[in-house]
Chains A and B, each alone.
Chain A
Amino acid sequence: MDRTTSASMEMRSEGLGTTPSEHPAFAGRIELPYKLTTGRAASVFLAELASRRIVGSRCPSCARVLVPAQDFCAECGTAAEELVVVASAGSLSGFTETAAGVLGLIRLDGASTDLVHRILDAGLADLQVGQRVAARWAEEAQGSVLDIVGFAADDAPAASEEVRPLSDPSDPVIEQPYRLRLDYQHAYGPYYGRLFDEIATSRRIQGVRCPRCECVLVPPREYCDTCFVRTAEWVDVADTGVIKAFSIIHLEFVGQVREPPYIYAEIVLDGAATRLIHTVGGIEVEEAMERLHPGTAVRAVWKDGEPVGTLEDIVYFEPVFDD
């Protein structure tokens, strides 16, 4: 994550009518690895693509052949356990073109339902509902629906025997690796904008005071959570405070930014009534277990060089012992 700069200093923002480009955003990314379980029907469907066979499932209740194979018949809820092989050619029921290319809805011979897939080697002008198409296979199967590269126009007539029982099934593809990446441009808004601007320009941490309970809220926000009245006044808080609570992290996990062991801490800055989430450093873990307590005083250790305006400008908070 990185941050450019924020020009959003206004406290009251209604009706400003500004355009997006005037307000830099905080670029956030969530990127996660998965191993997704395909389930019975899909695990066989995906595996059979390597043998260039397209598998459907027959609903025992309504007798429809669902393609690609489904575990359950959506319309009646029945488990569709009988797996069958349908033709790899059929007719085009519909098509569209989006940023992803030309996509088609295809009714394979023997299937009772359409499937969605890519249409190859054709523009919209070349396509007609009802025309014959056939699967084009990837050179090397990966156990993915993209082992069918797509469907292309094909003159072959409909197969005489459209639906066959599935014989000698391959080993199922029981899981698929998956990576989800989501990018964000989080708006700072007037409150976080000013907070991080102040950190970036003067290493000053600011909160807002609630006029009713008189508590100072950091990070600043428009409404006091407890009183639900508008906060009124910007207030400087210190870069010193006390530990409200802490734990010592040994666990390692995907996405972690600090190397264990380290000390997770919730800190109440002097002058504030809310918690700041950070780490405590400058103390060995063994010593921390003995000497740190809720209430232990700490002070921010700022990173050398120009601050950029995030909590990472503080390396950690170090304990301040009386002795």
Chain B
Amino acid sequence: MRDVAIVGTGQTKHARRRTDVSQAGLVREAVDAALEDACLTFADIDSVVVASGPALFGAVNQPEKWLVDALGGHMKPVVRITSGGGTGLAGALAAMNQVSSGFVERVLVVAYDKLSEGALQYQISTLYDPFWGREFAVGIMGFAAAYWRARIDALGHTEEAAALVSVKNHRNAMRNPYAHVKKEVTVEDVLASRPLAWPIKLLDVPPISDGACAVILASEDAVPSITSTPAWIRGMAYYGEADNAANRFMLQSVPLQLAAQRVYKRAGIVNPRRQFDVAELQEPYTNFELSYYEGLGLCRSGEAADLIASGATEMEGDIPCNPSGGCMGANPIGATALIRLAEAALQVTDKAGERQVPGARTALVQAGGGWANLRGVAVVGADRN
């Protein structure tokens, strides 16, 4: 197995709606930025992996076949991975395997969604079985709210604790030039915000965004000629869980734990709270971040509310979570997980600007989608395993 590193990243100017670019123009903007970051051109790219949300989001089936022209993919391997909200990381994982197996040397991964094009909640509701529950579905928000309500009772993930996540991520987004929601909020604002799917309220919810992210992966053999500051992918995994399996445990995500176990083992992580300098988590709802703290081993089960209240996950804390602002700053769903990976790469290469966690060398990345049943984890480091 060859080691693989991130040698370039790029993001679009994310926005509630971009009317100046088509879906193809949107991805191109991120790709141009990533190529420039890596000082590479299309000629250097061996293969392209596209990741995006369901085809219904953009009304284009297999959209990579349209985007190929904008991606410089003519006569190259081009494939699309679509694995729910975490698909950006699933795409990066597919690309990583292409490189580590020796199939290619340099892969362009590009993830995007242009959510302003359509009617998002109903589009997401089509995840549900047409026979069994689709008529009652509220995107994934009704589901997410329901199990948060259950965790309030079982694990003490209170509305106040979740509000602290919102306050933190909104505040962090102020320092992220790519974030399009730039608004500081208070705990009181969050608690008083309009209920959408109680206990989820407006300020527990990320924006709906147009945006794209591109990441260039290179083999250990190709890295030295590209950059002296690669971000090494020290482990990455993406696990699934049958949604309506018997007695499915809903208070914590088992596939998240499985992915973390596998990746931590490979990267030699035994004490995540101490060994990680920073984490980028795909919330997207505030209460998810609380649950991830526990699932990723940043604290014990039932201690997430204490962890956020302690300030440990703030920029100044010992394990800053989402210095980018996470999904609260921008949430172009299909791109969101790749944005987390790109942000982690910026952190460990000291390129994160105003949102830099000083001295960060090892970063945790988490991604997910579906009904909390598709979950991915990655470890990115300034050093190799």
Q: Which of B24, B69, B136, B154: most chain A CB closer than 10 A?
A: B136
Contacts of A255 in B (CB 8 A): 119, 121-122, 125
A34: Cβ under 8 A from any B Cβ: yes
Contacts of A76 in B (CB 8 A): 72, 74
Contacts of B73 in A (CB 8 A): 77
B244: Cβ under 8 A from any A Cβ: yes
**Do B20 and A40 have beta carbons less than 8 Å apart?**
yes
**Do B24 and A244 have beta carbons less than 8 Å apart?**
no
B142: Cβ under 8 A from any A Cβ: yes
- Tell me how far the C-beta of A37 lies from the nearest C-beta in chain B, rounded to whole angstroms: 5
**Do A37 and B22 have beta carbons less than 8 Å apart?**
yes
**Do A32 and B118 have beta carbons less than 8 Å apart?**
yes
**Do A294 and B118 have beta carbons less than 8 Å apart?**
no
Q: Tell me the residues in window 271-314 of chain A with beta carbons closer than 8 Å to chain B beta carbons.
A: 273-279, 289, 293-294, 310-312
* Chain B 23-47 near chain A by CB (<8 Å), digits 1 or 0: 1110010000000000000100000
Q: Which single residue of chain B is at the shortest CB-CB distance from A213?
A: B246
Give the distance in Å from the alpha carbon of A58 to the alpha carbon of B244 in the complex: 54
- Could you tell me which B residues sit within 8 Å of A by CB distance? 18-25, 28, 42, 56, 58-59, 68-74, 114, 116-123, 125-126, 128-133, 135-139, 141-143, 145-150, 153-154, 194-200, 242, 244-248, 250
Q: What are 25 sample pairs from A and B whose C-beta atoms fall under 8 A apart? A: A32-B56, A34-B119, A40-B25, A72-B69, A79-B28, A215-B246, A217-B244, A219-B131, A226-B245, A247-B141, A247-B146, A247-B149, A248-B145, A248-B195, A249-B196, A250-B195, A250-B197, A251-B121, A251-B196, A253-B119, A254-B119, A255-B122, A264-B145, A273-B247, A294-B149
**Do A253 and B246 have beta carbons less than 8 Å apart?**
no
| Residue from A174, A215, A256 in contact with B247 in the complex, judged by beta carbons closer than 8 Å | A215
A180: Cβ under 8 A from any B Cβ: yes
A174 and B19 contact, Cβ closer than 8 Å, known pairs A34-B59, A75-B74, A226-B246: yes
Give the distance in Å from the alpha carbon of A34 to the alpha carbon of B154 in the complex: 41
Q: Which single residue of chain B is at the shortest CB-CB distance from A174?
A: B19
Contacts of B247 in A (CB 8 A): 215, 273
A12: Cβ under 8 A from any B Cβ: no
- Tell me how far the C-beta of B32 lies from the nearest C-beta in chain A, rounded to whole angstroms: 9
Q: Tell me the residues in window 29-58 of chain A with beta carbons closer than 8 Å to chain B beta carbons.
A: 30, 32-40, 42
Contacts of B133 in A (CB 8 A): 276-278, 311
**Do A33 and B126 have beta carbons less than 8 Å apart?**
no
Contacts of A197 in B (CB 8 A): none
Give the distance in Å from the alpha carbon of A225 to the alpha carbon of B248 in the complex: 10
A245 and B149 contact, Cβ closer than 8 Å, known pairs A26-B130, A39-B24, A39-B25: yes
Contacts of A224 in B (CB 8 A): 246
- Tell me how far the C-beta of A242 lies from the nearest C-beta in chain B, rounded to whole angstroms: 12
Give the distance in Å from the alpha carbon of A224 to the alpha carbon of B242 in the complex: 10
Q: Which of A33, A79, A255: most chain B CB closer than 10 A?
A: A255
- Tell me how far the C-beta of A154 lies from the nearest C-beta in chain B, rounded to whole angstroms: 30
Give the distance in Å from the alpha carbon of A257 to the alpha carbon of B142 in the complex: 14
Give the distance in Å from the alpha carbon of A108 to the alpha carbon of B201 in the complex: 56
| Residue from A72, A264, A289 in contact with B197 in the complex, judged by beta carbons closer than 8 Å | A264
**Do B245 and A225 have beta carbons less than 8 Å apart?**
yes
A151: Cβ under 8 A from any B Cβ: no
**Do A311 and B135 have beta carbons less than 8 Å apart?**
yes
**When A and B form their complex, which 4 residue pairs have the shortest distance between CB atoms, in order from nearest?**
A39-B22, A277-B133, A77-B72, A255-B122
**Do B70 and A72 have beta carbons less than 8 Å apart?**
yes
**Given A32-B119, A39-B24, list of 14 further CB < 8 A pairs?**
A32-B122, A72-B70, A74-B74, A77-B72, A186-B130, A186-B131, A247-B145, A248-B195, A264-B142, A273-B246, A273-B247, A274-B245, A274-B246, A294-B154
